[in-house]
Structure formats: C-alpha cells, structure tokens
Structure 1
C-alpha cells in the first residue's frame, strides 16, 4: 500500500497575520503546499489529506482541486474544537485550536495505512519526501515511527524567534527525547532559546530539529486519543495549552511503546513564520526553478507529475 500525506493547514497564522497557507510564492502562483504535494507525488504518495477549518473548506477546494484532479487522491477533514473531548466542554475563553496532536487525531477516518504528516507552510524539499516514502513503505510498523530531521541552524528565521522540537538522538539514530523550545533565535552568533522564565540557554549548531515532518503507523491514533484525555484532565482551564506532536512523541518513547527513527535529510528547509519571511521564500523558490529542481509551472502538462 502506498502511503498517504497528511497536511496540517488549520492553523490560525496569528504571528503571520493572514492565511499564509494559500499565499502564492511560486512563479506561477504556487503555494508552499503545492511544492510539498508535487514532491510527494514524485516520491510515491498516493493520497493527500488536508486538515483544514470547515469555514474555509469551499475556498480551499476551489484552489487545490483543479490542480490535483487526476494526479493524486484528495480528502478533506476538519479540526473542530469539539472533537474527542471525552465529555469535557470547551471553555468560554478557549479560542486556540487544541494543537497538532489533536489535528492528527481528526484525520483518523481518512487514513488507512502508513502516513506522513507535515505543516502546510513549510518547504521540506524533495529528498525529505523520498526518504519518508521509503520508510513508510519498507520499515514503518505499529511500534516503529520516524521523523525527518533538519539541522537546527538551517531552520531559523532572521525576522524573529521560532518554535522547534529539538531532538536528542542515540547511536542507532533513534530519537531519545524531543524538547519543544518555544523561543529560539540567534544572538551574537550563537543559537539560544529562552525558557518560560526568560532565562537564555545556548544550543549546538548541529542540533537536530523537528519541522513536524513525521512518519506514522495508524497505531498512533489510539495513543494520541488516550494522551488527549490526559491533556484535557490537566489543561482544560488553560486557554493557551496545546497538545503538540513533539510532546506526544516524547511520551511514546518514554513509555517504551516503540522507537522513532531520526532520518536526516539533505534538503534545505524554509518557511513563513513572519510576513518578512515571504521575500526569502519567493527568492528560494525562484532559485530552485532556475536551477531546474522544479518546473516554472508545477501543474502544467509538461511537468510530468
């Protein structure tokens, strides 16, 4: 069975200030998602599942269905606040989605085999999709997952701090721990992060970072659902608490339920956290088109995908 690609596109884009998931960056109006889907099709993925907001569904489909019809199977699921609440009610002061682990849970009915998960607004590169597809078709099991790892130094923004899951890896290239660092930036040539108290800590240049490119077996769904109940028990009154994939992965490892392989990629990551990142993304994509990595129009007949 060929794997499925799940794209998380329901984020509110508060720091960016607009619906960056559908902003056009490529020379023929392509979004960052277009490049991910193009690379996924070439790598061997057979289906793409979009996790979106229901109020945006029709506009979203109008953008992507004409491009993808006949190229790859598509399905749309909604990250709704009232899903999987286990009897809890949504607090009045809760406006923020429940987080990326909850988003994956919302895709359960649309996935029937090994699958990859990515963000909508990150460019991951063709090598990452090739390696993910290879893992999902040859190694993925109910107790063997994977993450595509990027060098932390290559994932920073010049326009503000970023959040990253910083990985610890053992000699077998398995994930030992993943720590969500919510405020990472470069200061005086050194990569630092701030802890919740505002104290600064340095990070090695070659630290391996998660850019939320995960490879999972469907067994992950029951694990996430159990973890979400615990999350709600502990955080229901905190309007800013999020149930995040790095936390879930860390729990999976610490409970000895299996291993998560770290697969390094040579791909260069880039993305849009802030509006000021947009020109950098456009420039990077233009360079990739100019050097022949991508066609000037991804979905033209001559693109052969």
Structure 2
C-alpha cells in the first residue's frame, strides 16, 4: 500500500474570523497552521496533500505553499464550488454559503486514489495525531474499517464564541456508535457562577460534559466514502434547497455508514494538544502555544 494522502479543508469563508485565516501567520516566521499540519504529516509518512479551496483562492494558496513544499510532498488542489451537476443534482440553487464539509470532501474525488485523512486548515492537531492516523491508514484501514481522532470537548472550546463539533457516542470497544454535528456549542455561566458547556438547537439549550468525545474533522477514510456521499447528497440538496444555511457535514457520512452496517469507525485516542482559531481573538493564544512548542524543541524555529 502506498503512502496516504492528506486532504486539507481550506475553502471556508472564515466569516467569524474576519479574514482568510488559511494563510494567516502564527509561527515565528509567519508559518500558517497548515504549515505545521503538513510538516507533521510529512514526517508521519504522508505522500500527498490536496488542498480543497475556493477557486478564487488558488493563486494565493499556490504562492503560499507550492515553492516551499516542492520536493517534500506532492501537492494538488481541488475546488469547492456551486456546480451541483457533477454530484448528480440537476438544478441550480442560488446561495452564497458553501454546501459544507462533506461536499468539500466530495470535491476531491478525482484527486484521491487510496486511503486518505481529512483535516481542517485552521486546527492545530500535533504530531502524535498524524503519526497514529498514518499508521492506521497504512496498516489497518479498509472499506469496512475506518477511523477518526477523538478529542475531549473541554479541550477544544473557544472563550470567544460558539464552535461546531461532531459529538460522538463511543462504545466499550472504542468504536463510534454515532456522531452528530452540533453547530452552536459555547460556554455559559449559570446563576450560581458555574461555567458549563451547552449547545443550542431549535431554541433549546442542552448541557454537554467536558469529557464528551468529539470529532475535530480528523478522519481516516478510503475512497468508499465518495460513493456513500454521492448517494446521500442529492436528497440532502432536495430537502434543504430553500435553506441557505444548510450544510452537508462530514459526520453525516460516517454516521450513516455505521448505522447501516457498511463500516465501523475506530476512535483513535491521541495525546496531542489541540488548539484552533475560530475568532480573531484566538490568534494570540495560538501564537503563544506555537512559540512554546518551538521553545521546547517540538518544532524547529523555521519549518521549511
């Protein structure tokens, strides 16, 4: 089996951040969060990276990544756009918001031929997570056995607003039983001054435990998921054609595969410290965290 592929979700509009955070600098020499992910992926054994972007970002992304990654890892690009015909939907729906992370992954169908990992561009996952995923994709993955990295919800929150997380139910064997995307998870302080984590859905708030296992969009797949996604997407579009905020999320695919008995998903534990940037206020926290990792010798001062 050849080296696995890293698929980076970098087509988001960054509406809460206020700028194109995919290419924003966080390291001592202006390194992006993606730079650290790719650095970890290369040393873990990944052989190719595919950036899923909006086509208007192509020149910026190529200027940022092509030259410095040349000779280190194969680089390719896939475009997430609003052309639904290539996904079996014979209609035009006007909207400004992309169709979601699962739709983004579908956009890479022609760029991926073997086992692959999907990650977010704006999340810092750490080497341990990449090493464990590379090992799984090299030795264990098949069309009926896939995986995700599981993080504790309390370690993935922002102090500056809501976040979206795939909330997992995990059985005693460490396999995912279900995963549900929650898009409005935030901290709330009750009348007694206790800080808790809640999510809001349809006007109702529900509490979540800090040790709830969540997906940070760090998935281990085979190309089988493209077939599943292509089968589910047309109905999703039909059901949500009039909802401009609807999104076809990645957890929809594994959740369906598990419940239909198509595949199981191992939840891989990791000691990596996750941190991410959802809001501009998160930036100095991420910069400080990276500076400490560099000072501790976890990463070189200059990556590439």
Common topology (TM > 0.5): yes
Contact 2:119–2:218 at 8 Å: present in 1 too? yes
For residues 57 and 247 of structure 1, the distance between their equivalents in structure 2, rounded to whole angstroms, comes to 28
Following superposition of structure 1 onto structure 2, how do residues 1-305 of structure 1 map, counting pairs within 5 Å?
A: 1-83=2-84, 84-92=86-94, 94-187=95-188, 188-197=194-203, 199-299=204-304
Q: Distance in 1 between matches of 2:75 and 2:208?
A: 40
**CA deviation vs aligned residue, 1:164-198 (integer Å, no higher than 9, x gap):** 1111100111100112111112223222111222x
Cα deviation code 1:223-264 (max 9, x no counterpart):
110010121121122111110001222111111111011001
Q: Following TM superposition, by how much is the alpha carbon of 1:88 offset from its aligned partner in structure 2, in angstroms?
A: 3.1
Structure 2 length-normalised TM: 0.95
- Does the C-alpha gap of structure 1 residues 46 and 85 become closer, same or farther in structure 2, counting only changes over 3 Å? closer
Shift of 1:150: 0.7
Counterpart Cα distance in 2 of 1:285 and 1:163: 23
Instruction: List gaps (5 residues or longer) in structure 1.
Output: 300-305
**In 1, are the aligned partners of 2:87 and 2:230 still within 8 Å (CA)?**
no
Q: CA deviation at 1:86?
A: 2.2
| Inter-partner Cα distance in structure 2 for 1:123 and 1:20 | 13
- Output the CA distance in 2 between the equivalents of 1:87 and 1:132: 33
Equivalent in the alignment of 1:302 = none
Aligned to 2:191: none
Question: How many Å separate the matches in 2 of 1:271 and 1:89?
Answer: 36
| Partner SS, residue 251 of structure 2 | helix
Structure 1 SS opposite 2:199: strand
3-state DSSP class of the match of 2:291? helix
CA distance in 2, matches of 1:67, 1:73: 11
Question: Equivalent residue of 2:14, what SS?
Answer: coil
Which blocks of at least 5 consecutive residues in structure 2 are unaligned? 189-193
In 1, Cα distance between equivalents of 2:55 and 2:187: 37
The runs of at least 4 consecutive aligned structure 1 residues that moved more than 3 Å come to none
Distance 1:26 1:165 in 2: 28
Tell me how far apart the structure 1 counterparts of residues 202 and 46 of structure 2 sit (CA, whole Å). 39
User: C-alpha separation between the residues in 2 aligned to 1:248 and 1:141?
Assistant: 16
Alignment match, 1:303: none
CA RMSD of aligned residues (A): 1.0
Would the aligned equivalents of 2:150 and 2:270 in 1 still touch at CA under 8 Å?
A: yes
Matched residue pairs, number?
297
Alpha-carbon separation, structure 1, partners of 2:111 and 2:88:
21
Distance 1:43 1:213 in 2: 15
Q: Distance in 2 between matches of 1:87 and 1:148?
A: 32
Distance 2:87 2:254 in 1: 21
